[in-house]
Amino acid sequence: MSELAFEVTQEEDGGYCARAIGETIFTQGDTWEELREMVLDATKGYFYDSQPPEKIRLHLLRDEVVPFREPILTAA
């Protein structure tokens, strides 16, 4: 495997959760730097007896709800 991708979401408390796509690897971290370390550690553990990926991609998913209101037209 040349690349393993993780979908990353930011939690309401500010931490991050990462889930590998196509593998059963899940981890979390309080900061982005901690998450990177945890992803590397979890991946090493998962592939302890097989060939690990050459690269790991962290894909941050972000949902944002933007309120939309029509402008109120006033007579001039």
**Domains in the chain: boundaries:** 3-61
pTM of the model: 0.80
| pLDDT tens, position by position, 15-74 | 999 999 999 999 999 999 999 999 999 999 999 999 999 999 999 998 888 888 877 777
Contact 26, 18 (CB under 8 A): yes
What percentage of the chain's residues is helix, strand, coil (to nearest 5)?
Answer: 20, 30, 50
